[in-house]
Amino acid sequence: MKIVRKKTANTELAQELQDRIFRKMPIQKKLEMLDGFFRFAKELNSFGKKYGSGRIAQKSRKNA
């Protein structure tokens, strides 16, 4: 994984800046973000089931 160095006013890395912001964030906000990410991942997973590779395999069997 390549680390992208983005300089800020204090010349810290972007990841360090994100970490600092996250550490200062209230626990309630962290839990809200976690819930949002979980729901998003769950929704993406459901799309994979509907439109995944199984769908292609079904088309192939119908054409055979």
Residue 22 lies in a domain: yes
Rounded mean pLDDT, 18-26: 94
Place of tokens 């976690």: 34
Query: Can you give the residue range of the structural domain that contains 37?
Result: 14-63
Global pTM reads 0.49
Residue 6 lies in a domain: no
Q: Is 28's pLDDT higher than 80?
A: yes
Rounded CA-CA distance 41/10 in Å is: 34
Domain tally, the chain: 1
Which residues 6+ apart lie within 8 Å of 14 measured at CB? 4, 5, 6, 8
What is the pLDDT at residue 22? 93
Output the CA–CA distances (angstroms, integers) from residue 58 to 25, 34, 50, 63, in the order listed.
Answer: 47, 36, 12, 9
Banded model confidence at residue 20, pLDDT cuts 50, 70, 90: very high
Rounded CA-CA distance 6/14 in Å is: 6
Tens digits of per-residue pLDDT, 37-51?
999 999 998 887 776
